Structure 1
């Protein structure tokens, strides 16, 4: 049953959790967790070290860092500045900048006209773009001996361009020859409590649309020719997950009831995979393709996009974006 059980999520942490819930140890997968009580920031690192572990997890071999911050969706400018600084700190090891002119291409994936999918384009809008300045005037125009040349592209989605995202990006990389590609995209989560409160960093690239069952060609080092770092925030959750979470609460209520306690005991005997499959059968076929996002997603996406763009600006130039985030926070 475990092999067939595939929850819709882009988070490696949630893939690991489903095995832990069933007391299944995944060989070749290491998990490390830290918690900052003062700021309530939990950072979990999942390292998939073997091909067997990758097959079981359904994720490529690599490192996945998940930062959970409950107040990420709250309009608190000071808190978002702290998150930007933390995010920049975790990104730094992935960006070597080992040459006088290190070039980074940032790709803002998604559709800016579909709000839950607009994270990538919004992040790209507020980056401190410097490649053209360095190309025109040299790195000393930036006042530094070593500079990071930043360029950005918003490739759109296949419905807008008629092209796979990876085709557009591959063409840009062929012409501009960056040392590193950073892709930013909206993700799908298994848990409603992680919506707009979690940031995942990965060095394995990305499979656009995989969390919502809309599989596009992968954007990885193998497909584009340069190392790929992905940054994502879960903005949607599928209907089966919401019903499943409700079912969990319902079972707990039944177990505390004198008259219906037996029903609760029977249902609690199902493991996580069996419960999820049961829910999918009950809501099919009409709700299986339904994905849900919070009602304040417009403000939240803009706020979090600034947080991520500020982190990238701090990382690349030690500065801030040309559009300050205070106006939206």
Structure 2
């Protein structure tokens, strides 16, 4: 296995790029890209349509929407609102929100670790309505659809002694939502996508997979309810930084020589180390508001 292929990524877009770089034909995978030059937002939809495509990509069949926004880590409220609107627009495409829907939003991650706290912060910022509707029996009108929104931040196994999937399964069995939306911090292959990219997928999510912790996934197959996964890469594999830095120095070498050199130079322990920017505290705060507002817009019809 080459050094670059051992570097982890949760982004389907980056998986397709690795095939393009090696000039490998990728069957059963459709890629469509759209660029909004005025807002500097690039949206790529990766659709895995066959079992062979899923096997090659190492991901389930389904849709993977990637929104790349270079200014997403900056504190520009107007820009963040535009991204929130994009998130809401794509959610409405993946989910039928034209009727009253019961939605459970699960904020995955460890709130005590900033780079992993995206999910819990998103839940903190959501407008919860399930308890109000249950209490007052509000009904929808022709002009307004009232979705029952509830939230859960289940923590991590080291805090609870339970699999996240076990906790979510119990809540799903008790509250019976029509839809589960799982929000998690991801790992990226490219430094330029760190804190600047949002991935939305209708295939669910696997908690901890980005940092090599293999857990039972929150998927429709497991929970028996439709699951949407939303994530932002907040960490990169430490080996990525070494790999990319060395690659610039080795441009003069042939491709095969370059791969062999990088494999020898990157220490194995770097693949178990993850790096995040120093301003991650502020960035995660901005990102969590952006995602929660996107969800609020989708559920309120704004």
Mapped partners of 2:13, 2:136: distance in 1: 44
8 Å Cα contact 1:107-1:181 kept in structure 2: yes
8 Å Cα contact 1:109-1:156 kept in structure 2: yes
Q: Is structure 2 residue 28 aligned with structure 1 residue 35? A: no
- Structure 1's unaligned 5+ residue stretches are 253-263, 320-329
CA separation of 1:106/1:240 partners in 2, compared to 1, >3 Å: closer, same or farther? Answer: same
Shift of 1:280: 5.0
Shift of 1:281: 4.3
CA separation of 1:280/1:224 partners in 2, compared to 1, >3 Å: closer, same or farther? Answer: farther
8 Å Cα contact 1:139-1:145 kept in structure 2: no
8 Å Cα contact 1:240-1:279 kept in structure 2: no
The answer to which of 310-319 and 146-155 deviates more is 310-319
Mapped partners of 1:229, 1:288: distance in 2: 28
Q: Is structure 2 residue 289 aligned with structure 1 residue 306? A: yes
2:214 matched residue in structure 1: 215
Indicate the structure (1 or 2) with the bigger Cα radius of gyration.
Answer: 1
Post-superposition Cα deviations, 1:226-264, rounded to whole Å, max 9, x if no partner, equal 000000000000111111100111123xxxxxxxxxxx3
1:177 matched residue in structure 2: 176
CA separation of 1:145/1:78 partners in 2, compared to 1, >3 Å: closer, same or farther? Answer: closer
1:22 matched residue in structure 2: 22
Shift of 1:140: 3.1
1:289 matched residue in structure 2: 272
Tell me the secondary structure at the aligned position of residue 64 of structure 2: strand
Mapped partners of 1:22, 1:238: distance in 2: 21
Mapping of residues 264-275 of structure 1, within 5 Å: 264-266=252-254, 268-270=255-257, 274=259
Mapping of residues 30-69 of structure 1, within 5 Å: 30-69=30-69
TM-score of the superposition, structure 2-length normalised? Answer: 0.95
Tell me the secondary structure at the aligned position of residue 32 of structure 1: strand
The answer to which of 15-24 and 89-98 deviates more is 89-98
1:139 matched residue in structure 2: 138
8 Å Cα contact 1:102-1:148 kept in structure 2: yes
The answer to which of 206-215 and 70-79 deviates more is 206-215
8 Å Cα contact 1:63-1:204 kept in structure 2: yes
